[in-house]
Amino acid sequence: MTKPLEAVVFDVDGTLAETERHGHRVAFNKAFAQEGYPYSWSDELYRELVKTTGGDRRIARYLNEYENYGLEEAREIAKKLHPIKTQLFVDTILAGEIPGRAGVYRFIRELQQAGFRTAVATTGTNNWVHPLVKHLSDEGGFAPFEEVVTGNDVENLKPAPDLFQEALRRLGLEPDQVVMVEDSKNGVRSAMATGGPCLAVQGEYATPESLEGADLIVDSYGDTGAPLKVLSNPYNLKTGAMLTPDLVRDIHRRWQDNR
């Protein structure tokens, strides 16, 4: 028995806002400098490191693999540095320096106006995710997300399905009642492991190939004067210049038809 689409669940980093290159990466580098470590992550290096989910794990991996620290020492340093990095990132958010992706505010407003519930499931931590999503909803003029699930709320981060599963549990929904919106390889894998349809809006560190498995892959939400580009359309959906509630319904319907 098919179930109607009830909700859209969004990732945050790269999906709601392009936070990585000019947000997190800069904050990591500021934390290194502030604590006297002579390390600076270039954009090229960060493109590789971002494949590791969780900021403390990202620091530990870097120190262990690139700077030859023992794993335990790397973890201890990461444990010390990560809260500093997080506060520096929060300062950036509160200064209004991290806007939403082009077209995302329009898209969320339209979803909510069409009666869809909206929620967040992200590997990010409480202390910066909640300020950021509040800033985005205030700036974007849409209602706050009904549920915000962060990496603090589950045992396993993406690509495990735990975050989306917890969001669904809180919403009281099953995987076939939502569409999950992601921007990265780990995010798409997490959505697929959850067992529901996934819309991929390519992030700045992703390639179309890395998003394989999503039910539609586009390069953006689309906005006035800046139409989206379709990168993969396995169901041959009729797409326009912008993501819309009707297109999300079509993704859900065709996903159900092809299960």
Phi, then psi, of 247 in degrees rounded to 5: -65, -40
The backbone region for 36, taken as left when phi is positive above 0, alpha when psi lies in -120 to 50, beta otherwise, is left
Phi, then psi, of 128 in degrees rounded to 5: -115, -25
Told to judge if 176 belongs to the known catalytic residues of this protein, a careful annotator would answer no
Given the residues 11, 56, 176, 183, the one annotated as active site: 11
- Report how many helices (DSSP H) and strands (DSSP E) the chain contains, helices first: 9, 7
Contact indicator for 90, 223 with CB cutoff of 8 Å: no
Contact indicator for 10, 118 with CB cutoff of 8 Å: yes
User: Which two structure tokens, joined as six digits, stand for 177?
Assistant: 């009642």
Told to judge if 219 belongs to the known catalytic residues of this protein, a careful annotator would answer no
For residue 137, what are the CA distances in angstroms to 50, 88, 119, 213, 254?
Answer: 25, 21, 12, 29, 30
DSSP 8-state code for residue 97:
-
Number of other residues whose CB lies within 10 A of the CB of residue 1: 3
Give catalytic residues, as residue numbers: 11, 13
